[in-house]
Amino acid sequence: MDHDYLARLKQTHPALRLLNADNAPLIISFLFRIFIEPNRRSLPHSELVARLDDYLVQLRAMHGEERYPVPPVNTWRAGPVARPRFCASTTRISATSPSSI
């Protein structure tokens, strides 16, 4: 493995991009808690959103409101919501397909 290959991989590989994200601890710990710990492979979208809201409330209580500030509702729920690439067509979030990430 050479330097240029690894530098390119850091910019293009989804897992490495996630680890480099500012919110990586939030994302990874949430996905671990929801999918890995209970050995669950899918979850209805509405339940996933509710659990994320609950998790964010917990984190804000532990680390302060400034850690993960609440955005104004109209900035992230306004208009039609684009379906993330990892959503299954039945509005269930699935953690089984590595190619869907």
pLDDT digits (tens, 9 = 90+) for 2-46: 999 999 999 999 989 888 888 899 999 999 999 999 999 999 999
Residues counted in the chain: 101
Q: pTM for the whole thing?
A: 0.63
Instruction: Please tell me whether residue 94 adopts helix, strand or coil conformation.
Output: strand
Distance CA 19, CA 43 (A): 23
Burial class of 51 by CB neighbour count within 10 A (0 to 12, 13 to 18, 19+): middle
Q: Which domain holds residue 27?
A: 8-71+83-100
Instruction: Flag whether 29 is in a domain.
Output: yes
pLDDT for 86-101, tens place per residue?
A: 444 444 454 544 444 4
Instruction: Tell me, yes or no, whether 1 lies in a domain.
Output: no
59 CB neighbour count, 10 Å cutoff: 16
- 48 lies in a domain? yes
